[in-house]
Structures are given as C-alpha cells and as structure tokens.
Structure 1
C-alpha cells in the first residue's frame, strides 16, 4: 500500500491521488479524491461508450499538501488542503451547448444526432473545478467534448502532461497536451484561455476509426479549437 501521494494522477495508476496499480479497464473505477469528468466517447457508428476521463490536474490543483492513508474499504485516502480556485461559472462567458450551433458542428463533419451535442455538467470531487459542455460524434470517426471550465492554463501547466505545449489559437493563449496515457496518441486536448478559466477541447480519435483513424489527433483538436475560437467572447 502506498504511503505517499503522487501529484500527478492517471486512470491507470492512481486512487485518491495516491500512486497504485489496479487491474482492469481505466473506466471501471472512479477516483475518490481526485477530480474526474465523464465524457461520451464513440468508437464508430453506433459504438458509443462512456469513458471516465480522469482530470489529472486536479490531483495537484486542489491540494497544497497531500498525505495518504488507508480507508475502511482498503483504498488509499487523501488529506487535502485546497488552494484558491476561481468560483466564476465559466458557462456565463461561453456555453458550448448553446453557443455552438448544430449547423456549425455538421460543417465540422460531426453529424451524428444531426450535429446536436450530448450535454454534460461535471465537477471535481470537492466541487471546485467545474466543466459544462457537450460532446459531438462523427460516424466512424473521432469524438470531441467541448467544455467551459474554471481550470486555468497555469493549473494545467503545473501538471507537466505528456506532449504539453504552449500555443496560440486565433491569437488567444492556449495549451495542448495529452492527459490519458492509456489512450496513447488517440487522445489530445487543447485549452483556450477564457476569463478566469478556459475552454477545453478533448478529442478521442482511435486508430480503428475508418474515417479519421489515420489523422493526427492533436491536429484535429487544434483545427476544431481554431474554428470555435471565432465564436468565443473577448472576455
């Protein structure tokens, strides 16, 4: 049983912010003390599944110090001292489900459900980090979840995710990274700074997808982010 916590969490190696190893698929459990966001994924036409996306950043964002013990159920537990996080509702600046039209998303090739996104509202376990958005699907292609969040670019940077880069999207400060090692290069995110948080573009493009499996996932994320950036407010 681990006695110290890793600041970085992953779906394969963490429970409650503490490093450990668990057999079975990544989406077979929910972190107890680390934030998570379920996002609808698709592995092809009619092949939708629910993927439990672990937001590894939360493992470090909501704690200044963390120590691990053993809970009554045998799983590691974490003692957390929170650091200040913006309480501004990001959806007051931009609501992906309302501000991105079905026609616009059909133009991106995301035509499953006639371009209408599947909404989600999620929070970290302590309720301080929030995501509000929708997921869109392409038949036999990638899926993208777009969410307004109070997660900042600085907070994301602190986690040193795989393939992390600071970029500019339509002249806006942005970052790109991969937060799901178990998905390899099939997962890539872009976050565009907005107000006291950001807009999160989370793409899953599995190699088995007939239409898009040969395309670079991070390039897809950047292209969608660039197109949607024109819809964002200047705040």
Structure 2
C-alpha cells in the first residue's frame, strides 16, 4: 500500500475518533462507581497485535498501522493495534483489549445498541450519536472486553456502502474464535 494511502486512512480514523468524549476512542464511564470497578489492567491472554489471525486480516485486505494503545485519565485502558484496507478506499479498524466491561458499555446507553453472542461470548455493538460511519463491538473477556472500532466513511469506494456495525460484527465473528477459552 502506498504510504500516502496509509496516511490518509490513519488521518480519517483520527478524524473519526477526535469527537469522542474521552481519551482512547471509546466514551469513558461517567460515574465514579463504574470507574472504580475497572480492573487495573486490560484482559490478559490475548494480544490483538499478534493473536488476530493474519489470514483473517489478509482476507479483509487489511494492513497493520501498528500499535493503537491508549489510556484515559479515569483508568480505562486499551491495548492493541490498528489496520486499514490496503486499497486505501475501505474501512479502518482498531482491535484492542480494554478493561471496559460489557456492563459498562451497556450502561452508556449509546444509540443503536444491540446485544448478541459470538460462539459462547456475549457482545454489544454501539454507535456514537449522529454517526453512521463508525461502530464499536465489544466482546466479553475475563476482566474486560475485546473491542473492534470500525471507521467506514460513506466516501470509501470499496466499503462505504456497507453499514459500519455490520462490518464490525462480521469481523468479530471471524476473530473471536482465536481468543483462548481461558481469556
């Protein structure tokens, strides 16, 4: 992929996440009681940067953009990596473990929240208000979740016509089987 295409995709992802209400691309819990129930660290036993199957990302035409770690002031943490479509005209994704639990994600009451299961793991998809280009899917893990953050502007020639939450769910279905049962 040309460096300019990668740069443009990363910039698009940055624009998408700039409007989030907290550091780390995911709205942080608002109440102190929720924040204090956070695990000190993200779930262990799964490293998205090395454990997401390369074959899945190749089939999705995704290239790594490297580490995408973040910390919010209230203790929320994310550890993982980002990818962009190697055509330069498709969705971008960050796949990260976080100490946000499914109950914390549900408690945010974000628009277009849907609960579902992938294999034996519970999952929740959400959007930010007035944003149909992005979607989060959080999949249950011990001590938090595995988070898929999709950025899919309508202007993307290859994927802009596909709903961002559908992309996130489809990708999660392909990746979740790689999570060890112990994680």
Bin of the TM-score, shorter chain as denominator length: 0.7 to 0.9
Give the deviation of 1:85 after TM superposition: 1.5
1:213 aligned residue: 160
Contact 2:121 2:139 in 1 (8 A): yes
Q: Which residue of 1 aligns with 2:94?
A: 145
Q: How big is each residue's C-alpha offset from its partner over 1:102-150, in whole Å with a ceiling of 9 and x where there is no partner?
A: 443112121xxxx334212211113x21100111001200001100011
Query: 5+ unaligned residues in a row in structure 1: which ranges?
Result: 1-43, 65-80
**Residue aligning to 1:123:** 71
Distance 1:116 1:124 in 2: 23
Partner of 1:22: none
Q: Pick the structure with more helix per residue.
A: 2
**Which residue in the other structure is 1:94 paired with?**
46
Question: Highest CA radius of gyration, 1 or 2?
Answer: 1
**CA–CA separation in structure 2 for the residues paired with 1:45 and 1:89:** 28
**CA deviations over 1:200-234 (Å, ceiling 9, x no partner):** 00101000001001111111000000000111111
TM superposition outliers: structure 1 runs of 4+ over 4 Å: none
Normalised by the length of structure 1, the TM-score is: 0.65
Task: Report the count of equivalent residues.
Answer: 166
The 5 Å alignment of 1:64-213 reads: 64=33, 83-90=36-43, 92-110=44-62, 115-126=63-74, 128-138=75-85, 139-179=88-128, 181-182=129-130, 184-213=131-160
Question: CA separation in 1, counterparts of 2:6 and 2:161?
Answer: 17
- How far apart are the structure 2 equivalents of 1:196 and 1:117? 26
CA distance in 2, matches of 1:131, 1:143: 17
Which one has the bigger strand percentage? Answer: 1
The CA deviation at 1:56 is: 2.2
Deviations 1:176-207, CA, capped at 9 Å, x for gaps: 1113x25x111111110011110000101000
Larger RCO of the pair (alpha carbons < 8 Å, separation 6+): 2
Q: Is the 8 Å Cα contact of residues 142 and 212 (structure 1) preserved in structure 2?
A: yes
